[in-house]
Structure 1
Amino acid sequence: MRFRIQHTTWPRPALILSDTPQPNCPDCHGEGGHNHDYGDHTGEYAGTEWEPCHCWDETRRWTVLPLPRLPRPRQTSTDPWASDEPPF
């Protein structure tokens, strides 16, 4: 297991310790998985699926430090274009 610290905002702001893919994995070469494009019944592109590699568990994470929610600044005007400032 190789760990890294990340910032998350869901379900609440926090610093988490998460697992990372093995950089020398012969299957994914350190990317953590593979993308597979697929088509619909007419053969047109319909999306991409992600298949995680066996060297990495993307659900393995621990909260290190919960962060406080910062209050949002209040807007004085609801119209962002109602300013006398030039647009540049």
Structure 2
Amino acid sequence: MIRLRIKVIDWPRRALALTDAPRPDCRDCDGVGGIPHDYGHPETGEYEGTEWETCHCWTEWHMVLLPLPRRPRWLRRRHSGRDPWGTGGYSDEPPF
């Protein structure tokens, strides 16, 4: 059974896509869609990474419904160089 949902994908271009969702009551993956397997270095046993095994309750397919337009250059995020958490020239001393 397929559980459809709408999702924003980023590859190859931003778009709205129809995709499958993992089965929420799956006993193998607990509704995550896969099982992570951590592995370590064979000699030292130090953590090396995680391999992801896709669960049988989920298929990783998607169908593009609507490509999303690119933002105009003037609407893209700009970095002003200011500290976003700064006071902006105002004092934070009492009285506020």
Opposite residue 87 of structure 1, the aligned amino acid is: G
Does residue 71 of the first structure (1) align with residue 65 of the second (2)?
no
* C-alpha deviation, 1:74, in angstroms: 7.7
Give the Cα–Cα distance (whole angstroms) in 1 for the partners of residues 48 and 26 of structure 2: 29
DSSP 3-state at the match of 1:48: strand
Which is greater in Rg? 2
**Displaced runs of 4 or more, over 3 A:** none
> Match for residue 22 of structure 1?
23
TM-score if structure 1 supplies the norm length? 0.78
**1:40-79: CA deviation from partner (whole Å, max 9, x where unpaired):** 1221111111111011011x1000111111123389xx87
- Unaligned stretches of 5+ residues in structure 1: none
CA RMSD of aligned residues (A): 2.6
- The TM-score, its normalising length taken from structure 2, stands at 0.72
Gaps of 5+ in 2: 88-96
CA–CA distance in 2 between the matches of 1:9 and 1:65? 12
Normalized per residue, the structure richer in strand is 1
1:87 maps to which residue?
A: 86
Letter in 1 for 2:81: P
Per-residue CA distance 1:21-44 (angstroms, 9 max, x = gap): 111222112111111110012211
Structure with more contact order per residue of length (Cα contacts < 8 Å, sep ≥ 6): 1
Aligned residues: 83
